Amino acid sequence: MKWAGQLRPIVAALTVLAATGCVARAEDANDYPTSARAEYVYGCMKANGESRQSIEQCSCSIDVVASIVPYERYVTAETALSMSQVRGNLGVQFRTSEQANSAVNDLRRAQAEAEVRCF
C-alpha cells in the first residue's frame, strides 16, 4: 500500500479538473435567463398537459435546447417565429430572411433532439 499515498495528490488533481470542467459546461449551458426558461416550460406545458410529468419533460426539454442553441440564437429564432405571423411586408421579411430561417431551423432541430431525450 505504499502507492496509496502517492495516489492522493493525483486523485485530488483529477477531482479539481473534473469539477472545473463541469462548472464551465454548466455555465455555458446556463446562459438562458430564468424568465426565458420559465416561458418555454409554460408554453411546453400548455401544449403537453399541465401535469407533474409535463413539468419534468418540459424542464428537460429547455435544458437540452439550451445545451444546443446559444441564447442569442434562441432569441433570434423566437423573434422570427413571432414576427413571421405578422401580416404584411414586415411579416414577409421575417418569413423570407435566410438568417431568421436558419435560426428557426436550429431551434427546431434542438427541439427535436429534446423530444427524443425527454418525452
pTM: 0.73
For 60-74, how does the pLDDT look when each residue is reduced to its tens digit (9 = 90+)?
A: 999 999 999 999 999
Render pLDDT for 37-89 as a digit per residue (tens, 0 to 9). Answer: 999 999 999 999 999 999 999 999 999 999 999 999 999 999 999 999 999 88
Tell me which amino acid residue 2 is: K
The pLDDT assigned to 95 comes to: 86
Q: Alpha helices of the chain — where are they, by DSSP H? A: 2-29, 34-48, 52-68, 71-83, 89-96, 98-118
Give the whole-angstrom CA distance, residue 103 versus residue 74.
Answer: 7
Q: What is the pLDDT of residue 13?
A: 42
